[in-house]
Amino acid sequence: MTSKHQPPRKSGAVEHYDAVIIGAGVSGMYAVHHLREMGLSVRVYDGASDVGGTWWYNRYPGARVDGPGSPFYCYTFSEELMQEWDWEETQSDQASVLAYLEHVADRFDLRRDIQFETWVQDARYDEAAQRWTVETSTGVRASAQFLICAVGALSTANMPDIPGIHDFAGECYHTGRWPHEPVSFEGKRVAVIGTGSSGIQSIPEIAKEAAHVTVLQRTPQYSFPARNRPITPDEMAEARANWDAVRAKMNANLSGFPFDMHTRSALEDTPEQRRVLYEELWQRGGFKFFLDLYVDIAISEEANRSLADFVRDKIREIVRDPETAEKLMPDYFVITKRPILDDGYFETFNRDNVSLVDLREDPIERFTPTSVVTRTGEHPIDMLVLATGFDAISGSMLRLNPKGRGGMSLKERWKDRFHNYLGLTIAGFPNLFMIHGPGSPGVFYNMPLGAERQLNWLGEFMRHLRERGLGAVEPTTDSEEAWANEVTGLANATLFPRTDSWWTGANIEGKPRYFSVYLGGMLYYQRIAEVAAKDYEGFSFEAEHRAEDAEAS
């Protein structure tokens, strides 16, 4: 299918732009808008057939925003956009978020600079020309001074390598690659591998329709009630009326949402007082649970244990069969895997058509064309749902595998560690910029707002280069090392690195194991502003090559 939005392009021709942007998700969309406003010529390539990125791909049943939610998971760059868009629920479903992004694309006429159904197959830096050349799956080639990688932190699907999985003859879907056509579970025996957000959101929905659901669980999860509800017209009107103040609060808040920050330690309260707070937050539900918690839940083992015990008690209370409840019992620090919001997940195990296999004691041995075989027996199935997550944060950059100075590939450069400076740039890869890459606050921050803030900073950086006749910029390896120490120092002050999670890369075999997210949240934007104020400290610059120099070399 050729995208309806695109004029035909001539195969083999080289097109010239100021910036090539890879990805038309939340970040890439703002990149087009912002850089175009600055007067740059831009071109975006995306493999999907429309905008939305992660929200275009993740169409599985039950997919919803599971962060602090609407109306604050949104762009902030346009007052009019906020005034005209009505969010309907606190935890917007995938279709609503995608409808919003489609509206943004229409409103700001973004699609005219986006080429869909086009994968960037190769991106190479040309040292003489100080430009990037990209080759695409449609044969179009482009050259640009700047390469913006808006490739998504959760977009490279993790496909489990289990003996016989390719022989399975029934329907098989990864949640992050869900079909656009309706999927029917009616009368089917469905196995779901994975109990992260995608599994926990989809399992209750699948169970409502399927004949039987077998949940194949490798790690039990702490999950919290989403308590999704309609946003009232009054709430929407209030957010609009106070938009300037709301936006200021979002920018000042550690995680980018308009809420007050809490400073109380769990250890200042008695166990009874803690339980009262946890119960109140549990009943209210939503992601605000985590924002209104004690400040040291992810820092102090004792504080953490108090919440972990509370959630374990809730699981025992909800799940009627004690054996199943024990299998669902997480035994690591709570919230050190990405917190999950659910709509009746634990209750689903009280249904007659749902069973749980604990893969730690009963691992999958293989698939046959009609079943999954675990150590203790065979489970005949008609459908397999892979809710197995992503090669997160760094995975999509590695899939792109750009080649920098001297043809060095990113896979080579990132063999042992995801070297970067400010989560934005990589030594040896001049003029390449990452949005939500490793070393940035990315997935620990309100992502649309984070993309805006990174891109606003980058826009100024590009202006700085152009005004001074600078052709190329990259960080020094010393500044990369100092940044890595800063990122690791923040992480090591918490319990996060002590749990296996996609934040640490532990979900992907052979991946370097360390916590690669900058945990300072909003402080990051102060840090990058300081770097800019010090004449872009930590970077090395190259003057623009004159055309005749480039030709001679």
Q: Work out how close the CB of 223 gets to ligand NA7 at its nearest, in angstroms, rounded to a whole number.
A: 11
Q: Work out how close the CB of 75 gets to ligand NA7 at its nearest, in angstroms, rounded to a whole number.
A: 19
- Tell me the CA distances in angstroms from 306 to 232, 266, 340, 547, one per residue in order: 34, 8, 18, 65
- Taking the least distance from each CB to ligand NA7, the nearer of 219 and 348 is 219
- Taking the least distance from each CB to ligand NA7, the nearer of 129 and 254 is 254
**Cα angle value 182/195/156 (rounded, 5°):** 70
Among 94, 155, 219, 504, binds ligand NA7 (CB under 6 A): 219
Among 199, 395, 475, 520, binds ligand NA7 (CB under 6 A): 199
Question: In whole angstroms, what is the distance from residue 431 CA to residue 148 CA?
Answer: 8
Which residues share a beta bridge with 20?
Answer: 43, 147
DSSP count for the chain of H helices, then E strands = 18, 19
Token pair recorded at residue 329 = 């019992």
Are 130 and 471 in contact by the 8 Å Cβ rule? The answer is yes
Contacts with 259 (C-beta within 8 Å, 6 or more apart), sequence order: 68, 249, 253, 288, 291, 292
Q: Work out how close the CB of 120 gets to ligand NA7 at its nearest, in angstroms, rounded to a whole number.
A: 23
Binding flag, residue 164, ligand NA7 (CB under 6 A): no
State the sign of the Cα–Cα–Cα–Cα dihedral 476, 478, 483, 488.
positive
Which segment (87-95, 139-147, 189-197, 420-428) binds ligand NA7 by CB under 6 A?
Answer: 189-197
Binding flag, residue 366, ligand NA7 (CB under 6 A): no
Among 359, 373, 398, 482, binds ligand NA7 (CB under 6 A): 359
Q: Work out how close the CB of 161 gets to ligand NA7 at its nearest, in angstroms, rounded to a whole number.
A: 7
- Taking the least distance from each CB to ligand NA7, the nearer of 197 and 394 is 197
What residue number has its CB nearest to ligand NA7?
196
- Which residue, among 233, 222, 173, 174, has the nearest Cα to 196 in the 3D structure? 222
- Taking the least distance from each CB to ligand NA7, the nearer of 63 and 277 is 63
Q: Work out how close the CB of 392 gets to ligand NA7 at its nearest, in angstroms, rounded to a whole number.
A: 7
Which segment (197-205, 224-232, 291-299, 325-333) binds ligand NA7 by CB under 6 A?
Answer: 197-205
- Taking the least distance from each CB to ligand NA7, the nearer of 236 and 506 is 506
Question: In whole angstroms, what is the distance from residue 167 CA to residue 177 CA?
Answer: 19
Cis? peptide before 163, omega within 30° of 0: no
Q: Work out how close the CB of 407 gets to ligand NA7 at its nearest, in angstroms, rounded to a whole number.
A: 33
What's 409's DSSP letter?
Answer: B
Q: Work out how close the CB of 311 gets to ligand NA7 at its nearest, in angstroms, rounded to a whole number.
A: 16
Q: Work out how close the CB of 395 gets to ligand NA7 at its nearest, in angstroms, rounded to a whole number.
A: 11
- For every residue of 234-250, DSSP letters joined together read HHHHHHHHTHHHHHHHH
- Which residue, among 462, 341, 439, 336, has the nearest Cα to 41 in the 3D structure? 462
- Taking the least distance from each CB to ligand NA7, the nearer of 197 and 494 is 197
Binding flag, residue 196, ligand NA7 (CB under 6 A): yes
Binding flag, residue 502, ligand NA7 (CB under 6 A): yes
Binding flag, residue 420, ligand NA7 (CB under 6 A): no
- Taking the least distance from each CB to ligand NA7, the nearer of 387 and 462 is 387
Question: In whole angstroms, what is the distance from residue 225 CA to residue 204 CA?
Answer: 13
- Taking the least distance from each CB to ligand NA7, the nearer of 92 and 306 is 92
Q: DSSP E strands: which ranges in 180-326?
A: 189-193, 212-217, 223-225
Among 154, 277, 335, 384, binds ligand NA7 (CB under 6 A): 154
Among 160, 170, 459, 538, binds ligand NA7 (CB under 6 A): 160
Q: Which residues ranging from 262 to 291 are in contact with ligand NA7 (CB under 6 A)?
A: none
Among 76, 324, 446, 507, binds ligand NA7 (CB under 6 A): 507
Q: Work out how close the CB of 166 gets to ligand NA7 at its nearest, in angstroms, rounded to a whole number.
A: 14
Question: In whole angstroms, what is the distance from residue 453 CA to residue 374 CA?
Answer: 48
Among 107, 275, 288, 338, binds ligand NA7 (CB under 6 A): 338
Q: Work out how close the CB of 20 gets to ligand NA7 at its nearest, in angstroms, rounded to a whole number.
A: 27
Binding flag, residue 195, ligand NA7 (CB under 6 A): yes
Task: Determine the residue type at 432.
Answer: L
In terms of phi and psi (left: phi > 0; alpha: psi -120 to 50; beta: otherwise), the region of 436 is left
Question: In whole angstroms, what is the distance from residue 427 CA to residue 442 CA?
Answer: 20
Total residues belonging to the chain: 553
Q: Work out how close the CB of 287 gets to ligand NA7 at its nearest, in angstroms, rounded to a whole number.
A: 11
Q: Which residues ranging from 380 to 409 are in contact with ligand NA7 (CB under 6 A)?
A: 387-389
Question: In whole angstroms, what is the distance from residue 542 CA to residue 523 CA?
Answer: 29
Q: Work out how close the CB of 219 gets to ligand NA7 at its nearest, in angstroms, rounded to a whole number.
A: 3
Are 202 and 192 in contact by the 8 Å Cβ rule? The answer is yes
Q: How many residues interact with ligand NA7 (rule CB under 6 A)?
A: 20
Strands 141-149 and 131-136: antiparallel
- Taking the least distance from each CB to ligand NA7, the nearer of 274 and 436 is 436
Binding flag, residue 498, ligand NA7 (CB under 6 A): no
Question: In whole angstroms, what is the distance from residue 408 CA to residue 410 CA?
Answer: 7
Q: Work out how close the CB of 118 gets to ligand NA7 at its nearest, in angstroms, rounded to a whole number.
A: 25
- Taking the least distance from each CB to ligand NA7, the nearer of 70 and 197 is 197
- Tell me the CA distances in angstroms from 215 to 163, 194, 345, one per residue in order: 19, 8, 11
- Which residue, among 435, 479, 501, has the nearest Cα to 23 in the 3D structure? 435
Are 87 and 236 in contact by the 8 Å Cβ rule? The answer is yes
Residues in contact with ligand NA7 by CB under 6 A are 154, 158, 160, 175, 193-199, 218-219, 338, 359, 387-389, 502, 507
